[in-house]
Structure 1
Amino acid sequence: MSKVLIFGNSGSGKSTLAKGLASQNNLAHLDLDTVAWKPIIPPERLPVSESSKSINDFLSANSGWVIEGCYSDLLELVTEQANEVVFLNLPVSACIENAKNRPWEPHKYANKEAQDANLEMLIDWITQYTTRTDTFSKLAHEKLFNEFQGKKTMYVSNEQRT
C-alpha cells in the first residue's frame, strides 16, 4: 500500500498533488496544517508531541496514505513508515503565483475573503523559504529528501507534475 510524504514551500502545490494522489489511489489524506496549530489567532504551533498523537491516530486508522506539509519536524516522525517522498522544490516565484491563484481552502479559512486577507503575509513567508533555517525551510526539506532511503521524486516546476 502506498505511503507518500509530500513537502515543499507554501504555495508549491502540496495540497493539490496530495488530493490528486489520494483520489486516484484510494488513499487517506492528511494535511499537516490541520494537526500543527492551536485554533487561536494569532496562530501558534502545537507542541510536536500533540501533533504526533494526531498523526499516529491517522496512521493507525489508515493502511495507505498521503501526508503533506512543510513541517520537516512532523514529517520526520513518519519517514520510517513512508515508502515514497515527493519534494516540490519549485522556485519562490512559482510558489507566489500558485498562492495568488489558489482556490479557497475551507479547512483553513472561514471564506475566500479571509484567505485572501492573509495573502500578503503568506507571500512574505514564501519569500523567506530559501533564507530561513527552521523546520519550514528549503534547507530542512533538502535534508529530509537527501536522507530518505526509499523512492523519491523532486519536482522543480508546475509543468513537471502535469
Structure 2
Amino acid sequence: MNRIALIGSGGSGKSTLAMDMGKILDIEVWHLDAILWKPNWILTPREEQKQIQSQLVNRDRWIIDGNYQSTLDIRLEAADTIIFLDMPRTLCLYRVLKRRLMYHNRSRPDMQSGCKEKIDLQFLKWIWDFPSKKRPQMQQKLANLSMDKQIITLKSLQEVKRFLASMKDQV
C-alpha cells in the first residue's frame, strides 16, 4: 500500500483513519477538505481541484481522504489501494453532530483555518441519503476498476480497529 484513497460518507471516519494509517505506514496524508476549501467555506473551482489532485497522485506515496465525486476518478485510477468506509448512517450522523460540538466556533485540524465547523440540513440529508444514493455509485465505480487494485470495504468500527491492528503487525 503506497497510494491509498479513502472514501465514504461524511462522518464515516476517513480523516481519522487516514491519520492513523499515515503514522503506521509513514506516508504523507492529504485531506481534500483542507486542500479544496478556502477560508470561509469558499470551494476551489473544479478545474483547480483537478490540477491539485493530479499533482498529488503523481507522488510515489500518498494517502488522500475525501469523496469529491467530480474528481474521484483521478484518485481511484492512481491508487493501488482504495478503502471504502461503508459505515452505518446513524454512526456517521452521530459523529458529525459530535464533531460539531467538539469544534464549535473553530476549524477542525483536517480543515483550513477560517472554515469553522458547521452543519446544515443539506449536509445531514446527504449523509442520511448516502446509503441509497451515493453508495451504489461508489460500488459501481469500484467494480469497474482494474483487478490490480486492492479494494477494502470496512463496515464497522470493529472492522476498522482490526484492520489497523493487522497493519501494525505487518509493519
Q: Normalising by structure 1, report the TM-score.
A: 0.79
> After the TM superposition, which segments of 4 or more aligned residues of structure 1 sit over 6 Å from their partners?
none
1:61-93 deviations in whole A, cap 9, x for unaligned? Answer: x32111111223322113232111111111111
**Partner letter of residue 126 of structure 2?**
W
Which residue in the other structure is 2:140 paired with? Answer: 143
Distance 2:69 2:88 in 1: 19
Shift of 1:58: 2.3
Write the mapping of 1:25-104 to structure 2, written as runs, cut at 5 A: 25-37=25-37, 39=39, 41=41, 43-44=42-43, 46-47=45-46, 49-60=47-58, 62-102=59-99, 104=103
Distance 1:40 1:101 in 2: 21
Q: Secondary structure at the match of 1:152?
A: strand
1:125 maps to 2:126: yes
Q: Secondary structure at the match of 2:75?
A: coil
**Partner letter of residue 10 of structure 2?**
S
RMSD: 2.5
Identity %: 21
Distance 1:36 1:144, change over 3 A: farther
Larger displacement relative to structure 2 (78-87 or 11-20): 78-87
| Larger fraction in helix | 2
1:108 maps to 2:125: no
Distance 1:123 1:151 in 2: 30
Distance 2:32 2:112 in 1: 15
Distance 1:66 1:23 in 2: 11
Shift of 1:8: 0.5
Q: Secondary structure at the match of 1:85?
A: strand
Shift of 1:40: 5.0
Distance 1:72 1:55 in 2: 13
**Partner letter of residue 130 of structure 1?**
P
Q: Secondary structure at the match of 2:74?
A: coil
Contact conserved, 1:22 with 1:66, CA < 8 A, in 2? Answer: yes
Unaligned runs of 5+ in 2: 162-171
Shift of 1:32: 1.6
